[in-house]
């Protein structure tokens, strides 16, 4: 869920952000013990967004020999999630719990981790603290802005006008990073490309998302993308207006058979399979796991009818470069108020970028 994509600064302060990431993807070994994974979702598994991305990974995990997966959807961020997780432990024998919603962590994951010291708990947001939280708990999170950079490359070469629209929920660092990365990707192939952003103010406001999409199209944007909980409304509205679209979180390709280009997707199964493999082999799970294309934690949605051949070729090349560690933020870059905000080349995992509080020159919109 998008609201869980908070600043990773707290994650990186621990100094453990890359623990075990270099060994991914894992090859699942012959099980030395039973592996039962419990997964809880805050919404429906078929939301075309955050929850669906995790459900896709759960489906892949079910295909691994020796692994049992127990799922529950529409679990609120209340003591209901504690009851669900505890049931998975006591009734299903879960030895790994994956809590996929921000509000699940404190106090619910923390309290249950203290109570069930032999069960591993991992949470899809950078909230675990090595100084105060249980050692059998932890965090995992991929850097989706890398996939949005690839989106931008594809958008730049699929847009006739060079005007890209972005429907965003709130101006937190990870959202700003995705917006800015789309711009940089687009400008790498079309230097005069622009991104116009409208913030809806909430993570799920379907009516407002439709209004924002229509406003962007009316302003001349012929490619639309977003960062909201479920992109379904944005993608469908763009399709109905006859413009192209780019996805976020999971695949929205079925929603736009004429205009879909590609999308930025999480590849949670890389992480989930690595956790299951560690448990099967009686290995210690990492408390923090982060990565991007270079750690096989992201993917781009297969190209749709909206992608030009030139866009496909350039996007493929951009993705290959990111796998090799090519930096996105480099040189001297100003924000859209004229202030220099990038004065050198930054590694894609540099903590400075996790505190992003600006929109780059070329992005039309305001965070205030």
Average pLDDT over residues 13-36: 46
CB 142 within 8 A of CB 290: yes
pLDDT, position 33: 67
Round to whole Å and give the CA distance between 62 and 367: 42
List strands edge to edge, sheet with 120-123.
67-72, 35-40, 96-99, 120-123, 137-142, 288-291
To 5 degrees, how large is the angle CA 4–CA 172–CA 329?
Answer: 105
pLDDT band of residue 275 (cuts 50, 70, 90) is very high
Average pLDDT, the chain: 91
Alpha helices, H only, 28-172: 50-62, 79-92, 110-115, 145-158
Round to whole Å and give the CA distance between 167 and 53: 19
CB 58 within 8 A of CB 40: no
Lowest mean pLDDT among 5-14, 112-121, 180-189, 259-268: 5-14
Average pLDDT over residues 66-80: 96
What values do phi and psi take at 37, rounded to 5? -110, 125
pLDDT, position 61: 96
The pLDDT of residue 109 is above 50: yes
The pLDDT of residue 15 is above 80: no
Q: What is the dihedral of CA 21, 355, 353, 108, to 10 degrees?
A: 20
pLDDT band of residue 28 (cuts 50, 70, 90) is very low
Strands (E), 204-259: 223-227, 244-249
The pLDDT of residue 331 is above 80: yes
Give the CA distances from residue 24 to residues 58, 146, 273, in Å, rounded to whole numbers and listed in that order.
18, 17, 10
Tokens of 141: 């999170």
**pLDDT (tens digit per residue) in 316-326:** 999 999 999 99
The pLDDT of residue 201 is above 80: yes
Burial 143-169 (b: 16+ CB within 10 A, else e): bbbbbbbbbbbbbbbbbeebbbbbbbb
Cα 141 versus chain centre, distance: 8
pLDDT, position 20: 38
pLDDT band of residue 6 (cuts 50, 70, 90) is very low
CB count, 10 Å around CB of 111? 13
CB count, 10 Å around CB of 184? 22
Q: How far apart are the first and last CA of the chain?
A: 23
The pLDDT of residue 203 is above 50: yes
What values do phi and psi take at 81, rounded to 5? -70, -35
**pLDDT (tens digit per residue) in 114-155:** 999 999 999 998 889 999 999 999 999 999 999 999 999 999
CB 137 within 8 A of CB 110: yes
To 5 degrees, how large is the angle CA 162–CA 189–CA 53?
Answer: 80
pLDDT, position 21: 39
The pLDDT of residue 291 is above 50: yes
DSSP state of 293: G
Q: Residue 228: CB partners within 8 Å, gap ≥ 6? A: 2, 49, 167, 168, 169, 200, 203, 204, 205, 209, 234, 248
């Amino acid at each position: 869920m998008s609201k869980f994509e908070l600043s990773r600064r707290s994650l990186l302060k621990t100094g453990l952000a890359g623990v075990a990431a270099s060994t991914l993807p894992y090859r699942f070994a012959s099980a030395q013990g039973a592996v039962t994974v419990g997964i809880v979702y805050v919404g429906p598994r078929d939301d075309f967004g955050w929850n669906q991305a995790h459900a896709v990974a759960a489906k892949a995990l079910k295909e691994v020999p020796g692994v049992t997966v127990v799922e529950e959807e529409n679990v609120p961020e209340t003591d209901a999630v504690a009851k669900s997780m505890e049931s998975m432990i006591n009734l299903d024998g879960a030895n790994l719990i994956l809590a996929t919603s921000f509000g699940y962590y404190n106090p619910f994951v923390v309290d249950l981790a203290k109570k069930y010291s032999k069960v591993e708990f991992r949470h899809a947001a950078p909230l675990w603290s090595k100084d105060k939280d249980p050692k059998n708990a932890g965090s995992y999170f991929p850097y989706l802005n890398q996939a949005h950079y690839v989106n931008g490359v594809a958008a730049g070469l699929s847009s006739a006008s060079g005007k890209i629209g972005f429907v965003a929920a709130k101006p937190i660092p990870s959202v700003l990073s995705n917006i800015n990365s789309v711009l940089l990707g687009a400008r790498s192939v079309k230097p005069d490309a622009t991104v116009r952003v409208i913030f809806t103010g909430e993570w799920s406001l379907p009516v407002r998302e439709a209004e924002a999409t229509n406003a962007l199209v009316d302003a001349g944007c012929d490619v639309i993308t977003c960062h909201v909980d479920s992109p379904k409304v944005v993608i469908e509205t763009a399709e109905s207006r006859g413009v192209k679209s780019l996805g976020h979180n999971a695949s929205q390709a079925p929603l736009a058979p004429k205009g879909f280009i590609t999308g930025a997707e999480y590849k949670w199964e890389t992480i989930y399979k690595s956790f299951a493999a560690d448990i099967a082999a009686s290995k210690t799970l990492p408390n923090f796991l982060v990565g991007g294309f270079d750690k096989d934690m992201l993917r781009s949605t297969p190209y749709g009818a909206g992608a030009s051949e030139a866009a496909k070729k350039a996007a493929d090349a951009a993705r290959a470069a990111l796998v090799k560690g090519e930096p996105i933020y480099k040189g001297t870059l100003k924000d859209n108020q004229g202030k220099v905000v990038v004065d050198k080349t930054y590694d894609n995992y540099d903590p400075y970028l996790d505190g992003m509080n600006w929109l780059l020159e070329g992005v039309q919109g305001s965070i205030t």
